[in-house]
Structure 1
Amino acid sequence: METHQIDLSEAQLLQIYQHLHQIPELAMQEKETHAYLLEIIHHFDQTYLEIWTPEVLPTAILVLIHGKAPKRTIGYRTDIDGLPVAEKTGLPFASQHPNVMHACGHDIHMSVALGLLAHFAAHQPQDNLLFFFQPAEESLNGGKTAFERGIFKGKWCPDEFYGLHDNPDLPVGAIGCRMGTLFAGTTEVDVDFYGKGGHAAFPQDANDMVVAASQFINQVQTIVSRSVDPIEGGVITFGKFEAGTIRNVIAGRAHLEGTIRGLTQKMIEHIDQRIKEVAAGIGQSYQAKVTVQLNQGGYWPVENNPQLTHNFITYMKTATDVQFVETAPAMTGEDFGYLLAKFPGTMFWLGVADDSQLHSATLTPNPQAIQIGIKAITGFITHRMSEKA
């Protein structure tokens, strides 16, 4: 690649995508990815660029493009980490890192971001543009970590934030979005039950935590069916139940692990509270000690800002070269939700037309979506900068 690259060609974008696909790294370990991203960025015209790799989050990269006459700073975020998945695509450019794969399409996300950055580095924008290459989306909530470590301050603070996620169910290059919540928020739930073990033949001398934990699971199912507005919805799933050691010994302990999903932060907090109340009731009913641990971290619902999202959707619907799809909310989680709780903004989908779903070992997004997405997003950002407010 030549120094002072103008716009990245389709061939260059494909080369970048394939290289990124080969070097996936887990959350907060994205050193090789970080180095490669910096190598590409340093080939762009540096006239208007300012690059910062914060010591408090060493695999993150922030790039500020200084605008001609800035009225605002428009933020654009891309995630950069991979997943602990052994790739089974059979691609010639498959992951070179054993048991780690870009199974969620973050290689697509980064390629689009680099294409946008190359364009605006060479064509100075009106407003300031802030690109945030974020580590640790899949785990360790990198967005929340970045915010809490004070990265978004001064000139590095966006007035509004945008980001995309690839979508295998949408046509190649299609833009999907909706008013309200795009992704659900998620909370991890661990519940421990402490009773008294004993011989299976003498239940009166023990306090069976298999029974207590089972009743807890049954009662928790009524939270969504009877304590949640059916129009709003919610999900509670306990996927792990551990208790006992042998068939003829009553278990004095039990451990559950589950997840909560909700479309608003208010709903998640409501479900959290109801789970605590059910646990307290089970503890009292079965004379057991029941403890509940809830961990949401940065995985808040992705609640799109009404005004900015209306603006985004209106542009994408009217742009002649954009295929827009209004999408339903998804119950999957995304840590961009935390940043959207701190900054107004919008998250949207980019269609990649694949039979395999996100997080699968065979995910093979169509890379033609990259250039189509860059064109659509460049058009929107240019339109946004033309607006007074």
Structure 2
Amino acid sequence: MPTLPIIADSSEELTAIFKDLHAHPEIGFTETRTAGVVAEKLRGYGVDEIHEGIGKTGVVALIKGKGGGNRRVGLRADMDALPIDEQTNLPYASQNEGVMHACGHDAHTTMLLGAAKHLAETRDFDGTAVLIFQPAEEGLGGARGMLADGLFERFPCDEVYGMHNFPSGEPGKVGICKGTAMAGAAFFDIEITGRGSHAAMPHQSRDPIVVASALVGQIQTILSRNVAPLEACVISVTQIHAGAAYNVVPETASLNGTIRYFKDEVYALTETRMQEICDGMAKAHGVEVNVQFRNVFNVLENDPGLSDAYLEAAADVVGAEQVTDQREPATGSEDFADMLQVVPGAYCTVGHAGTVPLHNPGFVLDPEILPVGASIMARMVERRMPLAAG
């Protein structure tokens, strides 16, 4: 079975929706326009219920199948963009300065809308499809916001599925990593308070820049000397801020960054050692060092059996030769993991043309993937809630 006919016939509409969303990106929890477009399209498709403002800017829609059964399958797409200046020169490039859909969430939203159109028109399933349009995936806690707003209490699901585009240069290649698939993530903020001085008289200072520079290197010893060699963990310092003049040793400096991990005990060890290193540096240099941690993503766990079911649905669309369960675990993170902590499910990638990586100002998503992703989502609902024969 190739791309589903209703979705294939709607490819121009889907491309237009995608380009419109791409041209008007919105940062997490400000996706007011995007959520409005989603709700308007869903009303036009004739879904049974639309609920707006879930988790601030999220949208949930329900579509009931012909069979009237009690099973419920959830499909989730994220809607937010990134604080990046677009450099693609596309005719539909971002019109919002400093904001860009550099991760493909505009495509994910469009794919789920395509699935909604097919499911609302055909209703060839026995149960209810729960369509979840989530805000603020990019480290702002959108999934947790929807969960705190009673997502699965108000809209129960037996299973839930997510999808992400993958600029692999392999159009239509669908992959899943069973079990532990994506890293958990935490952000850290380190504030160093020393004593400022004239730069020509540094002996009168307690230089926070020296401490900050030393911490960047010392933190990496956690990976080389504390985390077991066969365990995976990443610590990246991504920001350093200090000073504002050539001739002044500043009073303060700050470091910020992220930790990625696949086991909670590895993260706990890393957090403990970072605290100990910061405490030791403070004592050694006579400064104050304050470190704070914020867990932002759980480890993403794909249910093995539901992963197989997802690939079977994908094979209906792209062919068995185009699906694989051999994706390696990724050190990137995804807050769909938080939903999978509550409801079992799986998360797959769909390849498309182009190899510029995600979160890059030159990233371009191939719109040809839109009907493919939409068809896979729709087939998942039909396969997991089949109509009784006869």
Normalising by the residue count of structure 2, what TM-score does the alignment of the two structures yield?
Answer: 0.87
User: CA shift at 1:15, angstroms?
Assistant: 2.2
Could you tell me how far apart the structure 1 residues matched to 2:201 and 2:373 are?
67
User: CA shift at 1:41, angstroms?
Assistant: 1.0
Q: 1:269 to 1:309 in 2, by over 3 A?
A: farther
Could you tell me how far apart the structure 2 residues matched to 1:146 and 1:369 are?
27
SS in structure 2 of the partner of residue 132 of structure 1 = strand
Aligned to 2:16: 15
SS in structure 2 of the partner of residue 152 of structure 1 = helix
Q: 1:177 to 1:293 in 2, by over 3 A?
A: same
User: CA shift at 1:207, angstroms?
Assistant: 3.3
Q: 1:230 to 1:71 in 2, by over 3 A?
A: farther
After superposition, residues 1-389 of structure 1 pair within 5 angstroms as: 7=7, 9-46=10-47, 49-54=48-53, 57-67=55-65, 68-124=67-123, 125-154=125-154, 156-198=155-197, 206-244=205-243, 251-297=250-296, 299-313=297-311, 316=314, 321-322=319-320, 323-325=322-324, 326-386=326-386
SS in structure 2 of the partner of residue 192 of structure 1 = strand
Q: 1:386 to 1:227 in 2, by over 3 A?
A: farther
8 A Cα contact 2:317 2:375, kept in partner? no
Could you tell me how far apart the structure 1 residues matched to 2:356 and 2:202 are?
49
Identity of counterpart residues, as a percentage? 33
Q: Deviations over 1:359-389 (max 9, x none)?
A: 222222111111122333333332222499x
Q: 1:209 to 1:51 in 2, by over 3 A?
A: same
Q: Deviations over 1:135-192 (max 9, x none)?
A: 11124221111111223314x1222221111110151122111113333222111112
Q: 1:235 to 1:320 in 2, by over 3 A?
A: closer
Moved more, 5-14 or 174-183: 5-14
User: CA shift at 1:206, angstroms?
Assistant: 4.5
- Structure 2's unaligned 5+ residue stretches are none
Q: 1:72 to 1:280 in 2, by over 3 A?
A: farther
Could you tell me how far apart the structure 1 residues matched to 2:161 and 2:81 are?
21
SS in structure 1 of the partner of residue 163 of structure 2 = strand
Could you tell me how far apart the structure 2 residues matched to 1:248 and 1:86 are?
33
What letter corresponds to residue 372 of structure 1 in structure 2? V
SS in structure 1 of the partner of residue 319 of structure 2 = coil
Moved more, 70-79 or 86-95: 86-95
Could you tell me how far apart the structure 2 residues matched to 1:278 and 1:265 are?
20
- Structure 1's unaligned 5+ residue stretches are none
Structure number with greater CO (CA < 8 Å, separation at least 6) is 2
Could you tell me how far apart the structure 1 residues matched to 2:160 and 2:264 are?
19
User: CA shift at 1:249, angstroms?
Assistant: 5.5
Could you tell me how far apart the structure 2 residues matched to 1:246 and 1:52 are?
53
Could you tell me how far apart the structure 2 residues matched to 1:242 and 1:194 are?
12
Q: 1:15 to 1:202 in 2, by over 3 A?
A: closer
The total of aligned residue pairs comes to: 379
8 A Cα contact 2:350 2:373, kept in partner? yes
What letter corresponds to residue 63 of structure 1 in structure 2? A
8 A Cα contact 1:193 1:290, kept in partner? yes
Q: 1:162 to 1:169 in 2, by over 3 A?
A: same
Q: 1:320 to 1:200 in 2, by over 3 A?
A: closer
8 A Cα contact 2:71 2:126, kept in partner? no
Normalising by the residue count of structure 1, what TM-score does the alignment of the two structures yield?
Answer: 0.87
Q: 1:311 to 1:273 in 2, by over 3 A?
A: farther
User: CA shift at 1:69, angstroms?
Assistant: 4.0
What letter corresponds to residue 312 of structure 1 in structure 2? Y
Q: Deviations over 1:186-212 (max 9, x none)?
A: 211111223334466776664333333
User: CA shift at 1:101, angstroms?
Assistant: 2.1
8 A Cα contact 1:64 1:129, kept in partner? yes
Could you tell me how far apart the structure 1 residues matched to 2:107 and 2:242 are?
42
SS in structure 1 of the partner of residue 62 of structure 2 = strand
Could you tell me how far apart the structure 2 residues matched to 1:265 and 1:19 are?
40
8 A Cα contact 1:173 1:370, kept in partner? no
What letter corresponds to residue 109 of structure 2 in structure 1? M
